[in-house]
Amino acid sequence: IRHRFTDAFSIQGGIEGEIGQSIDPLGRFNYSMIGVPLSVIYDSTDRPLDPTRGVKVTASIAPYAGFGGAPSFFGIGRLQASTYYALDERARYVLAARIGLGSIVGGELAEIPAARRFYAGGGGSVRGFEYKSLGPRTPDGFVTGGRSLLEGSLEARIKVTETIGVVPFLDFGQAYASSFPDGSERLRFGAGLGFRYYTSIGPIRVDIATPLDRKRGERPYAIYVSIGQSF
């Protein structure tokens, strides 16, 4: 159920149930869980797919009762905030920034279903890295996911013409085994250049990114194609 107080501010809540099997390098177990996800949203941006002004903040918390292999009680919280600032009246030059935080409290890492853990990397996270490739690893090098997350992005959105734009960007992020980002894993950075073709419904996005301080085995670049800005 969702209630909108104003055009910019709303809250929502619901009931969620899940039965599944978690299989990953930390183990295999069957679980079931029931929870009450709650969220608060503030969105003063001017355009859904191509914001040029305003702020958007989404804060959510979901307490769960677990059964089987899952913890008897755990909670997942997440905060996502972004802001947009147009340097000129026609919004041909826009600065955009995003920060994201996540935390899971209750239970050990191996008890949290793998699909509910936090991962970083990929088009909606740290561009240049493979999807869900950043986070705690086993001694064999397999990514396990974590109980906390820190990530963010900076972009300069520049319109060259009315339909063509370029976007230099810098992303950073990492997932951690602890319930709060503690620096136990090195923060990773990705940078690149995006191209935009602006249509009446929103921009078509093509981003080319590369990991900074790339490690052995990581791909030298990645390409992302989508509709709408990255955040």
Over the chain (231 residues), what is each successive 10-residue block's mean pLDDT? 96 97 94 98 95 97 97 97 97 98 96 96 95 94 95 98 97 97 94 96 96 92 96 96
Distance of CA 206 to the CA centre of its chain: 18
Cβ distance 65 to 72 under 8 Å?
yes
The span from the CA of 223 to the CA of 209, in Å, is 7
Indicate the length of the chain as a whole number.
231
How far apart are alpha carbons 97 and 119 in whole angstroms?
20
The token duo for 19 is 């039965």
How far apart (Å, rounded) are the C-alpha atoms in residues 131 and 185? 17
Q: What is the pLDDT of residue 170?
A: 98
